[in-house]
Amino acid sequence: MKNILVTGGAGFIGSHVVRELLRLDYHVYCIDNFDNFYSRKQKMRNISDSANHQHFHLIEKDILDIDAFSTIQNCNIDCIIHLAAKAGIRQSIENPFNYNEVNIQGTLKVLEFARKNGVKKIIHASSSSVYGINTDIPWKEIITDLKPISPYASSKIASEDLCYVYHNLYNLKCVVLRFFTVFGPGQRPDLAIHKFANLINTGKEINLFGNGETKRDYTFVDDIVAGIIAAIQYEQSNFEIFNLGNNYAVSLKDLIDAMEEVFKLKIKRNYLPVQAGDVPVTFADISKAKEILNYKPVVSLNEGLEKFKQWHMDYYKIIDYK
């Protein structure tokens, strides 16, 4: 494979994927609409290292636009890494129609482009949110009784189903990757670690929902990227689902303790009830990805927080707090 399309390539995970693909000498076509969910400045900085690379092509379009893919119809795209989506649990509860449109209809448009243009493979970014409230932890891909509790989660299940439909109808190779709480440099400002870092550095208290007992399987972005690259090379079957996590659930309290250690600042805490749409725990069984993709997460929580802290310090030297 040589030519790869990355949707959402200026975003958090997407920009890391783009950099690694360019390092590996792929030709990268990036579609991103620079959605105003957060600062365009951050997204531009995300792709600043890639922007002038001779094999990088940026298409500033929305995947829902009728002409979004027109400029790459003759580019012989071999693989699509579909990362573009409306993200955020709480925001999806406030605006479910928008999440349905982007995450389901947008995925359908990507799949139709693939079908009509002879794309060999789709790698689709899904989420641990699809498991919902499920006590059978750590979660395995074989779980069929999915219990989503947010419009975001249900939209991700629907998009996974669309991938299977196109695999079944058109023999399109599809790899679905369920990401577990990805963090690292370039992280969206609405996500916990980035939001907490902003509050820590301005001396404000942190709201801990659920008394800090909720747990997440925090996974460093470089490990996720390694899993995506492995999925590009995967050829054993034409449809598979893999968990990409760290196989280690960390409580919110323990995350704050780790951030205190890394940032070397005392954190003010305000405990509040659980918010609607939040699941009590996410915890990935990654044995399938380990065995088949040779996926091996190597970055610990504290090591990842150190890397995030350095990025955060550098970023906010030149970008105003939002």
CB atoms within 10 A of CB 278: 14
Instruction: Note the pLDDT of residue 321.
Output: 45
Q: Where are any strands of DSSP class E within 128-172?
A: none
Which domains, from first to last, does the chain contain?
3-183+219-247+283-298 (3.40.50.720)
Query: Which amino acid is residue 130, in one-letter code?
Result: V
Instruction: Note the pLDDT of residue 205.
Output: 87
> pLDDT tens digit string along 26-72?
999 999 999 888 889 999 999 999 999 999 999 999 999 988 999 99
pLDDT: is 17 or 269 the higher one? 17
3-state secondary structure of 121: strand
* Dihedral Cα 275, 279, 281, 286, nearest 10 deg: -140
Burial of 163-189, coded b for 16+ CB within 10 Å and e otherwise, reads beebbeeeebbbbbbbbbbbbbbbbbe
Report the alpha-carbon distance of residue 269 to residue 287 in Å, rounded.
36
- Which among 175, 158, 150, 57 is positioned nearest to 101, based on CA atoms? 158
Give me the DSSP letters along 66-96: TTTTGGGTTS---EEEE------HHHHHH-H
Hey, which residues does 125 pair with through a beta bridge?
Answer: 177
* Catalytic residue chosen out of the listed positions 26, 29, 152, 166: 152
Pairing of strands 215-216, 250-251: antiparallel
Is residue 108 within 8 Å of residue 62, measured between CB atoms? no
Length of the chain: 322
- Known catalytic residue at 170: no
Q: Is 0.75 surpassed by the pTM of this model?
A: yes
Instruction: Note the pLDDT of residue 88.
Output: 83
